[in-house]
Structures are given as C-alpha cells and as structure tokens.
C-alpha cells in the first residue's frame, strides 16, 4: 500500500513529488509512457527556452527545467515510473490506480495530468512549432523574433483577446482571425481588441495554410473568407493558436467533479477534489493561469493538503 501516488510528470507533479518526498511519504510518480497523447515531463518538453520560471536568470530550456525538477524530487526519495494510468477506482479506501492490469493501492492520489493546447490540425502547425507557431503568447510573445513585426492570433474567446492585447505590447501589429462575425469573448475584452489601434480583426475568416520555410519559420498565412470563399494572404512572423485547451481528464469522467470544459473542480483555496484523499493540481484544474510556476505552486498545495490529510487519519 502506497501513501501517495502522483499521476503526471510536469511541474505540478514534480513539485508535489518533492514536497511529499521531503515529508517521508516516498511518493510513486506515474508520469506516463510516451505516446501521441502522453508526454513524460509535460508540456514544457515541447518548448525551447523558458524565460519566466523564477531561479533561472539566464533562462533554461524546457527539458533542462523538467530534468532539474525531477532530479530534485528524486533526491528525497520520489520514485518516478514511465507508466500511463488507464483506470482509477476512488469509490472506497484504499484508492486504486491501474496501469493496464496492474493495480496500485494508495491512501492518497494527487492528480497532475495537465492540459493540452488545441491547434487547428494543420501540418504546418507542427512543422513551425517554436519557429513562429505557439499556443502561449504569455510564454513566447516577448521573444525578439516577434518584436515590431506582424503576428496572427486565431480564436474569438477570452484567451484570444488576452493574447492579442498582450502581444500588442511588443509586436508591430496583431491580426485576430475569427471564424464568425461576433466574438465568444466577454464584451469588455472584445471591445478592447476592436478599439486597439495595433489590432485588426479578420472576421469570418479561417486559416487555410501557414506559409514559411525551415530557415525563417512562419512568414505568413492564407486566410479564407467563410462567407464568399475568397482567399487572401497576410504576412506575419508569428501564429498563435488560441482556440482553447483540453484538460487531460477523460480518465476521471464520472469519478471526479469537472466543469463544463472538463477541468477538475477543487474546493476553493485548496486542492481537495470531491473524493476523499484525492487532490488535483496544475493545469488539469486551472483554466485561468496555465503557467509552469502556477502549476508548481499548486503542486506544493496538493502535497501539503495530502500530507495533512494523511496526518489526520486514524492510525491502524
Ligand atoms: P503538464 O506539464 O501538462 O504535465 C502533465 C503530465 O501528465 C505529462 O507528463 C503527461 O505525460 C502526464 N499524464 C497525462 N495523462 C496521464 C496518464 N493517464 N497517466 C500518467 N501520466 C499522465 N509556462 C511557463 O510558465 N513558461 C513558459 O515559457 C511556457 N512555455 C510553454 C510552451 C508551450 C509550447 C506549451 C504547450 C506550454 C508552455 N507553458 C509555459 C505552460 C506550461 O508548460 C504549463 O502551464 C505546465 O507545464 C503545466 O504543468 P502541469 O504539471 O500541470 O501539466
Ligand atoms: P473558448 O472555448 O471560450 O473560445 C475558443 C475560441 O476559439 C472560440 O471563439 C471558437 O470559435 C474558436 N475556435 C474553436 N475551435 C476552432 C476552430 N477549429 N477553428 C477556428 N476557431 C475555433 O476558449 P478560451 O480558451 O478562449 O476560454 C476558455 C475559458 O476561459 C472561457 O470560459 C473564458 O471566458 C475563460 N477565460 C477567461 C479569461 C479572463 O476572464 N480574463 C482569460 C482567458 C480565458 P467560436 O466562437 O466560433 O466557437
């Protein structure tokens, strides 16, 4: 019987592992086996430079940061395994987590399975990822390659508005590409975007193709008018997908409470889920901030909550 099982391998899971390991709880960390859906180390493994994680004044690559976080947790006894959780049973104690047919029993489970940015599905999104294509303006918007140049943001929700307004601080011009003639975003955010002198909204438009080459990365997009089918080219050096994220919670459908978008619901100011002994942290329960440092911070919260929950249980 384990005391703590952590599902995930990103900044939230590693921080939860560090804290529970230092509390002598010898956590087992199931960070998944590499596949189309699963990425051990989490989302930062898909990026190059991380410039906004405190403690790295010169910046750090995503993979180096994750290696450091993992090493720090392992130093205190966290046990990482490249295993993908395929099923959970939280209906009674002990809690059960399954990797295929293998059952792992634990007193507590910390869920840190993250979220996945959605892209349109164009081949060029993969080809130019980190070479002009991004799904995180907060992370990449201030990079030199975008400064003073034109960029495209795809989407009409609050994320797209926020990203466009943020980018307008650095870039020369932002084109917001939206497939309809009205934003889904809140009126106040939409109005700010429409009124901004450095932002043009490309209404009723979809991105048909991203242009570029391996040396320069993104150089433009071909937009298609959804009403008359006409196509036009917009020159740009950046393409930011802002069409939403998908939290990795299919595993917990019918087991844990989620909001309408599938994010796990935690009790206010805590990481408690609706199941006793089950805690959630990181992007899987955060539709608002979705940063490595906030994921790490909530991983710390989940570890402290799990530790205190264990301490409060009657000893057997
Ligand atoms: P994730 O990092 O998503 O990790 C989730 C983990 O869960 C993965 O290891 C996965 O393998 C595992 N998992 C999922 N399902 C299972 C399962 N069934 N069984 C076992 N394991 C499972 N943030 C910043 O602060 N600065 C940046 O510069 C920055 N750049 C970014 C660049 C890109 C391209 C992207 C996509 C994101 C970026 N972010 C950045 C955001 C940041 O990466 C996330 O906020 C952060 O990684 C979230 O951490 P997490 O631990 O909650 O989840
Ligand atoms: P949303 O689901 O709200 O919006 C996604 C947008 O992307 C929609 O405009 C949608 O178009 C568009 N879209 C989706 N799929 C495609 C596609 N295949 N092709 C073209 N366009 C597409 O996601 P967000 O990430 O914007 O927001 C998620 C939640 O987080 C919301 O509740 C939002 O309010 C909240 N949020 C709040 C913020 C704030 O208050 N400051 C900041 C950021 C997010 P369509 O409208 O036609 O469906």
The question of whether 139 is a catalytic residue gets the answer yes
* Cβ-contact 89, 106 below 8 angstroms: no
Domain boundary, last residue among 241, 256, 280: 241
Contact call for residues 12 and 295 (beta carbons, < 8 A): yes
- Does the CB atom of residue 224 touch ligand 2 within 6 A? no
Shortest-distance Cα residue to atom 6 of ligand 1: 8
Q: Are residues 159 and 296 in the same domain?
A: no
What tens-digit pLDDT sequence spans the chain (316 residues)? 999 999 999 999 999 999 999 999 999 999 999 887 788 999 998 777 888 999 999 999 999 999 999 999 999 999 999 999 999 999 999 999 999 999 999 999 999 999 988 999 999 999 999 899 999 898 889 899 999 999 999 999 988 998 999 999 999 999 999 999 999 999 999 999 999 999 999 999 999 999 999 999 999 999 999 999 999 999 999 999 999 889 999 999 999 999 999 999 999 999 999 999 999 999 999 988 989 999 999 999 999 999 999 999 987 6
Residue 117: what pLDDT? 87
pLDDT on residue 68: 98
Cα separation of 140 and 130, whole Å?
9
216 with 266, same domain: the answer is no
CATH code of the domain covering residue 22: 3.50.50.60
> Of the candidates 234, 262, 230, 305, which has an alpha carbon nearest to the alpha carbon of residue 118?
262
CB of 287 closer than 6 angstroms to any ligand 2 atom = yes
Same domain as 199, residue 131: yes
Clarify whether residues 228 and 278 are in a common domain.
Answer: no
Q: What is the pTM of this model?
A: 0.84
Check 68, 96, 136, 158 and give the catalytic one: 136
* Ligand 1 nearest-atom number relative to CA 14: 51
User: What is the DSSP-derived secondary structure letter of residue 263?
Assistant: P
Which residue of 18, 104, 140, 292 sits with most ligand 1 atoms within 8 Å of its CB, as the best mutation to test the pocket? 292
CB atoms within 10 A of CB 254: 5
Q: How many domains does the chain have?
A: 2
Residues 67 and 107 in one domain: yes
Q: What is the pLDDT of residue 190?
A: 97
Residues 93 and 139 in one domain: no
pLDDT of residue 54: 97
**Mutation test of ligand 2: which of 243, 283, 288 has the most ligand atoms closer than 8 Å to its C-beta?**
243
Both 123 and 237 in one domain: the answer is yes
Q: Domain ends where: 218, 241, 264?
A: 241
What are the C-alpha distances in Å from 206 to residues 142, 209, 231, 235, 263? 25, 9, 10, 15, 27
Residue that finishes a domain, picked among 203, 219, 241: 241
Catalytic residue, chosen from 24, 68, 96, 140, is: 140
Provide the CB-side half-sphere exposure for 169 (13 A, CA).
10
Query: Edge-to-edge, what's the strand order for the sheet holding 199-202?
Result: 133-134, 238-241, 150-154, 173-177, 199-202
Q: Is residue 47 domain-shared with residue 137, that is, in the same domain?
A: no
pLDDT at residue 316, rounded to an integer: 62
The answer to whether the CB of 52 falls within 8 A of the CB of 62 is no
Domain that holds residue 293: 2-116+245-312
Query: Is 286 a residue of the active site?
Result: no
For residues 110 and 133, membership in a common domain is answered with no
For residue 157 and ligand 2, the question of a CB distance below 6 A is answered with: yes
């Amino acid at each position: 019987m384990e005391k703590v099982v952590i599902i995930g391998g990103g900044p939230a899971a590693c921080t939860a592992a560090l804290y529970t390991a230092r509390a002598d709880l010898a956590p087992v960390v199931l960070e998944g086996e590499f596949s189309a859906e699963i990425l051990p180390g989490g989302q930062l493994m898909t990026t190059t430079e991380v410039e906004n994680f405190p403690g790295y004044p010169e910046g750090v690559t995503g993979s180096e940061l994750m290696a450091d976080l993992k090493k720090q947790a392992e130093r205190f006894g966290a046990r990482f395994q490249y295993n993908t959780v395929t099923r959970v049973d939280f209906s009674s104690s002990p809690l059960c987590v399954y990797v295929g047919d293998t059952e792992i029993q634990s007193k507590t489970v910390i869920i840190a399975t993250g979220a996945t940015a959605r892209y349109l599905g164009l081949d060029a999104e993969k080809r130019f990822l980190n070479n002009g294509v991004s799904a995180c303006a907060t992370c990449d918007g201030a990079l030199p390659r975008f400064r003073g140049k034109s960029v495209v943001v795809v989407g009409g929700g609050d994320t797209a508005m926020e990203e466009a307004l943020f980018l307008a601080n650095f870039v020369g011009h932002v084109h917001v590409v939206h497939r309809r003639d009205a934003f889904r975003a809140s009126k106040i955010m939409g109005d700010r975007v429409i009124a901004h002198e450095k932002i043009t909204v490309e209404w009723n438009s979809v991105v048909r193709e991203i242009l570029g080459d391996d040396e320069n990365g993104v150089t433009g997009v071909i937009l298609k008018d959804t009403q008359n089918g006409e196509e036009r080219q917009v020159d740009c050096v950046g393409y930011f997908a802002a069409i939403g994220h998908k939290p990795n919670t299919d595993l917990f459908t019918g087991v844990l409470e989620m909001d309408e978008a599938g994010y796990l619901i935690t009790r206010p100011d805590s990481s408690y889920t609706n199941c006793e002994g089950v805690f959630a942290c990181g992007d899987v329960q955060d539709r608002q901030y979705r940063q490595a440092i906030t994921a790490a911070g909530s991983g710390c919260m989940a570890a402290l909550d799990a530790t205190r929950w264990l301490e409060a249980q009657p000893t057997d």
